[in-house]
């Protein structure tokens, strides 16, 4: 099942333009391009005119042909999420972290700053423009693996057992107040779908809302997302409607 995209000012869908740009960028005619994908020149022509859309299988082939970064557009059109790809291909996650995070510059404040601070004692964590919400405060509807960072946070390596899969985002609302997690706190999250009962996780609920809760598994393949605020009710959903995006590692607060 492919993902539909809106048309632009030219009247052609974005996927149509990107396919044509990919072909022209490789300096191929439609027959040569089609041959690399195992389809006819007529099919390529129909895509580029926007009158027929490639199948999911062809979108995956287009992504393989395109390489970074255009591959992510085509794979998403095929219905794949970036987090799915990085889970199956861990090397992709490492490569993405290397390309997203710039070199850190360490500033030592004051004449008595410790001159033996080593770069290896800190790791660069992407700070994402994403909020994990609570009841009454909707979080952002987004796959964490697909977001480009707005800045970078240097964190002690002891905080991050897997630095290449750790991100930082903000909290929205106070459903976790009794766990001392408040509105606008920054949280370090390890991007993983593995979590034990009682772990605090960032989850995408029903594909629409990123939320921060404790997770529990109940009989009947039900997930309970439990707030740490006595005035709020838990969320209970079938397991297939809850996508765990990460596990909480640490909470940071600006005073």
Selecting among 83, 93, 97, 175, the annotated active-site residue is: 175
Cβ distance 36 to 65 under 8 Å?
A: yes
Q: Say which DSSP state 115 is in.
A: T
Q: Strand locations in 39-108, DSSP E?
A: none
Name the β-bridge partners of 246: 202
Centroid of chain to Cα 93: 10
* Burial of 245: CB neighbours in 10 Å, binned 0-12, 13-18, 19+: buried
Q: What Å distances lie between residue 4 and 7, 15, 54, 73, 85, CA to CA?
A: 10, 9, 11, 12, 20
Pairing of strands 151-156, 122-132: antiparallel
Q: Which residues contact 182 (CB under 8 A, 6 or more apart)?
A: 171, 174, 176, 253
Which CA distances in Å does 225 have to 130, 185, 243?
A: 19, 20, 12
Whether residue 213 lies in the annotated active site: yes
Check 18, 76, 172, 213 and give the catalytic one.
Answer: 213
Which residues contact residue 77 at a Cβ distance below 8 angstroms, ignoring those fewer than 6 apart?
A: 2, 3, 5, 15, 54, 56, 59
Query: Quick one: tokens of 92?
Result: 């992709």
Would residue 231 show up in a list of annotated catalytic residues for this protein? no
- Burial grade of 5 (CB within 10 A; 0-12, 13-18, 19 or more): middle
Q: Which residues are catalytic?
A: 175, 213
């Amino acid at each position: 099942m492919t993902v539909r995209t809106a048309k632009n000012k030219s009247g052609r869908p974005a996927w149509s333009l990107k396919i044509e740009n990919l072909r022209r960028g490789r300096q191929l005619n439609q027959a040569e391009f089609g041959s690399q994908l195992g389809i006819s020149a007529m099919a390529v022509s129909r895509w580029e005119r926007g009158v027929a859309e490639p199948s999911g299988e062809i979108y995956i082939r287009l992504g393989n042909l395109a390489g970074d970064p255009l591959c992510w557009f085509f794979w998403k059109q095929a219905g794949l999420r970036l987090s799915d790809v990085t889970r199956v291909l861990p090397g992709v996650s490492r490569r993405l972290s290397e390309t997203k995070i710039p070199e850190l510059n360490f500033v030592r404040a004051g004449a008595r700053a410790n001159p033996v601070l080593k770069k290896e004692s800190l790791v660069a964590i992407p700070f994402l423009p994403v909020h994990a919400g609570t009841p009454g405060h909707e979080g952002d509807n987004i796959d964490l693996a697909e977001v480009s960072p707005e800045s970078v946070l240097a964190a002690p390596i002891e905080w991050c057992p897997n630095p290449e899969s750790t991100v930082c985002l903000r909290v929205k609302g106070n459903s976790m107040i009794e766990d001392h997690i408040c509105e606008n706190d920054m949280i370090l999250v390890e991007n993983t779908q593995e979590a034990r009962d009682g772990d605090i996780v960032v989850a995408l609920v029903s594909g629409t809302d990123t939320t921060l809760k404790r997770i529990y598994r109940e009989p009947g393949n039900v997930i309970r997302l439990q707030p740490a605020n006595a005035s709020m009710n838990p969320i209970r959903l079938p397991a297939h409607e809850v996508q765990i995006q990460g596990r909480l590692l640490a909470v940071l607060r600006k005073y």
